Amino acid sequence: MNLSRIVLAGLALCAGVSLSAKIITKPVAYEHAGVKLEGYLVYDDAKVSAEKKAPGVLVVPEWWGLNDYAKSRAEQVAKLGYVAFAVDMYGAGVSTTEAQKAGELAGQFYGKPLMAERAQAGLDQLLATGLVETEHVAAIGYCFGGSTVQALAYSGAPLVGIVSFHGGLIPVPADAAVKTKAKLLMCHGALDPLVSKEDLAAFTQAMNDGKFDYQFISYSGAIHAFTNPGADKVAAANGLTGKIGYNAAADRRSWSQMKGFFKEIFEKK
């Protein structure tokens, strides 16, 4: 075989490898407390396999439910080389674009053990894939999902870190400082009208009193739901303009800070 044929063969081989490597997406049916659920598993098969495990990231959606936006975030996480699982909090196929309905769906979880328990059911599915480095698992969440990953961390779940993107600040349980294993990265809109000064003060006080390992970052000009490019349209349809809205700079910066946080918490000792 002459040199040109060798080069062409090498290029064909490389092309074949490139074409065979792709982002895998799988619906995963499971159940919790009698509710049939369907999560969304995503990973890059060029980087992850049963023989080559990777850190895992649970993705918890906004109060709208497991919709295309939440799935797209799981896909972005997978492209970073992690195994992502977007959890279903409401039930297979249950999502909405109506704020009143979303409030009813999310309302059943706030202040109740069910919030952490339902998220834990999703975490169990992620760990059961056989693709995850079980000592390197984190959870990220958006709005309602941000509150949920806080609750999951406070429950003592085996997480090395959580990232809350514009999440509501839930009360920190008295025993959370003892039970929490995760470091916390809180990405907050500085102008978020849905998080009161009182809630913010109580959260900071609890974090400092409990000596949690946390970062709280406020993004100037950002309001609630600042990471979601569709937030302005949803706001207009639900009378929420000025309360929720997209902020490209805050979205970009918070995602970058999440990536740096992951490098820290997933570092092999």
* 4 pLDDT more than 50: no
The average pLDDT across 122-134 equals: 98
pLDDT band with cut points at 50, 70 and 90 for residue 269:
low
* 180 pLDDT more than 70: yes
* 9 pLDDT more than 70: no
pLDDT of amino acid 268 = 77
Q: Which are the contacts of 214, defined by CB distance < 8 A and separation ≥ 6?
A: 183, 184, 185, 186, 207
Partners of 31 in the beta sheet?
Answer: 36
pTM: 0.92
Strand residue runs (E) in the chain: 23-32, 35-44, 54-60, 83-86, 132-142, 161-165, 183-189, 214-219
Q: Which of 25, 73, 65, 41 is nearest to 228 (CA)?
A: 73
Q: Which two tokens stand for residue 157?
A: 């779940």
- Alpha carbons 73 and 149: distance in angstroms, whole number: 15
pLDDT band with cut points at 50, 70 and 90 for residue 20:
low
pLDDT band with cut points at 50, 70 and 90 for residue 185:
very high
Which residue has better confidence, 3 or 119? 119
The average pLDDT across 83-105 equals: 98
* 5 pLDDT more than 80: no
- Alpha carbons 121 and 128: distance in angstroms, whole number: 11
Q: How far is CA 155 from CA 6, 10, 43, 163, 180, in A?
A: 58, 52, 27, 16, 7
Domains of the chain (ranges plus CATH)?
22-265 (3.40.50.1820)
* 10 pLDDT more than 60: no
pLDDT band with cut points at 50, 70 and 90 for residue 200:
very high
Using a CB cutoff of 8 Å and minimum separation of 24, what contacts does 235-238 make?
237/97, 238/97, 238/98, 238/99
Q: Which amino acid is at 46?
A: A
Main-chain phi, psi angles of 243, to 5 degrees: -105, -40
Which position has the token pair 């990536």? 259
Strand 132-142 relative to strand 83-86: parallel, antiparallel, unpaired?
Answer: unpaired
DSSP string, 91-132: -TT-B-S-HHHHHHHHHTTTTSTHHHHHHHHHHHHHHTTS-E
